[in-house]
Amino acid sequence: MLEPRPTGELSQTLAQRLTRIYGDQASLPKLLNVIEARAKQYKGLDASSWDQSDIILITYGNSLVSEPKPPLQVLSQFLNKRLSETFSAVHILPFFPYSSDDGFSVIDYRAVNYKLGDWKDVGDIAGNFDLMADLVCNHTSRQSLWFIDFINGEGEGKDFFVESDPAADYSAVVRPRTSPLIVDVYTREGVKHVWATFSDDQIDLNFANPDVLIEMIDILLEYIVRGARYIRLDAVAFLWKELGTNCIHLGETHEVVKMMRDIFTWLDPGLVLITETNVPHEENISYFGLGDEAQMVYNFALPPLILHGLNRGNASYLTRWARSLPPFPKGCTFLNFTASHDGIGVRAVEGIIPKHEINDLIESVHQFGGFVSMKANGDGTKSPYELNISLFEALQGTRNGPDTFQIPRFLCSQTIMLSLQGIPATYIHTLTATPNDLEQVELTGRTRSINRHTWQYEELESLLDDPATNQNRVFELLTKVIQKRRKQPAFHPEAPQQVLALSDTLFAIVRGDEETGMILCLHNLTAYPHEVHTIEKVPEYFTGGPCLDLLSEQEISLDTFELTPYQCAWIIAK
């Protein structure tokens, strides 16, 4: 148990935050009481900072099932058996009781969904891996007790939701969905109209009421007390509503995130706050603040850039974007990923990839069995929001159609992600080369279900043990790459990164420095061999003698080295 810490300096900081949000600090005593009570329960972390060994697995609590064992116990068994040397952390997507959206319409924030297991099962996983948990802070389920309070007009939640006039002008509001923003609710006091950014089952919380903020801080700290190191703030960009604005990234929202960071820094510097904001890139990285906001932001531009590059055999957009990235604020980094439980968002590459090339990519996704989800614009039009497809299926070919390079192309996508500055996160269905689940799409009526397959544990184990399957080949090759990465200090999240503009078909970066050692990371994005000796501008550090490719474990000379189709190399000087 950590020694109690004085709250004097924290109190001053929180008072300033509350004044910026609400115009006064009247709720400070109540907020401090919540923080102090949770701090007394907190035992502390083993780790105080991140390094190159930090790799996150993303999974649902029931991505693996084997009745009658609770799914969280099945997941724990799989992690301990196959992934203890590969991942340092596990992001269990919302494991709470819910009513829709596969967990993101939370009924009870403080309970574990009994269909998955219980808090002990969560704790068992947190005992072997760093735990990442979701704080679904923008909205809650219609079936939550808070919303029942709202309907009855009494109880804790009666003022927890955003009421609004359906006749008001909402044309400026930015939304990721096409469903109605304002929905009708029948209450004891008659029909009321509430804000629902994502669906009519996900009712937005009213953070203009400080009691909502304090309740969310308490829930956040309960997750930390129960073993979470990383907290993902789901859909946080939409937190604050103010009619007449776009209701996204408002100043009050940023102040709330900064307040959470203040509390983390005070409680334990090893805790990590992550914002999930699927928006254009410049808006996304605004959540770093000046190094005083989220320590990590999801790198939403990366998945579509990698998919686009491999679809066209062209690394130029990926290279240009990577070269343009400003240095991270101190203590901040990206959460890099290529796929997740959601689709591959395309908003993050607005202004980076031309619209006609995005349309070409959408055509390929349709050809490979996927879908595209749309968002509503303020002028009544719709535009692409995300691509819904299994990443393994999305890389079965290029814009020219399917071919025989699916596995090397897929592994290239993962190696690019693992090479870049940041902390990598791998979705379980990427690791297991899961195909499109069209049956689940038909069953749920939701296109996102295409990439949310539930594996029967015994079936997956059989596939992973069979060298003839895609699951075995991808799993074995990818876990080996990850394990090699975890041993290289040059891949520390804060190690330098230099992006080289060498070729339109090659993505090349140098990681590290003379202190950590330097690694030249080469990635061939085409189905054609690439002679490395024709490339200029390779740093002299790698050209003075023999080198070693860490991935193939072969000694090479850059004068004669040739990358095969979709081959990647991590090259060190010998």
Domains and CATH numbers, the chain: 497-573 (2.60.40.1180)
Mean pLDDT of the chain: 95
Closest CA to 287 of 279, 297, 278, 272: 297
* pLDDT attached to residue 153: 97
**Rounded to an integer, what distance in angstroms lies between the CA atom of residue 28 and that of residue 402?**
60
Q: What is the mean pLDDT of residues 416-437?
A: 98
Task: Report the pLDDT averaged over residues 221-244.
Answer: 97
Q: How many CB atoms lie within 10 A of CB 114?
A: 9
* Amino acid identity at 359: N
Average pLDDT over residues 429-437: 98
Query: What are the angstrom distances between the C-alpha of 446 and each of 101, 387, 403?
Result: 9, 13, 29
Average pLDDT over residues 205-220: 98
The predicted model gives 266-281 an average pLDDT of 94
Would residue 46 show up in a list of annotated catalytic residues for this protein? Answer: no
Over residues 217-229, mean pLDDT: 98
What is residue 201's DSSP assignment? Answer: T
Portion of the chain with pLDDT greater than 90, in percent: 89
Residues 541-557: pLDDT tens digits?
A: 787 778 999 999 999 98
Of 220, 261, 254, the C-alpha closest to 236 is 254
Preceding peptide of 68 cis, ω within 30°: yes
- Quick count: other Cβ atoms within 10 Å of Cβ 290? 9
Contact 204, 161 (CB under 8 A): yes
DSSP state of 237: G
Contact 109, 219 (CB under 8 A): yes
Partners of residue 139 on adjacent β-strands = 204
Catalytic one of 54, 130, 234, 268: 234
The angle subtended at Cα 217 by Cα 236 and Cα 136, nearest 5°, is 35
DSSP single-letter state for residue 317: H
Residues 6+ apart with CB under 8 A from 513: 490, 495, 496
pLDDT digits (tens, 9 = 90+) for 110-132: 999 999 999 999 999 999 999 99
Give the chain's end-to-end CA distance (angstroms, integer): 47
- The per-residue pLDDT for range 314-359, each reduced to its tens digit, is 999 999 999 999 999 999 999 999 999 999 999 999 999 999 999 9
**Cα separation values, 348 from 198, 345, 383, 391, Å:** 19, 7, 13, 18
The answer, yes or no, to whether residue 533 has pLDDT greater than 80, is no
The pTM of the full predicted model, rounded to 2 decimals, is 0.96
Residue 560 pLDDT class (50, 70, 90 cuts) = confident
pLDDT at 201 (0 to 100): 97
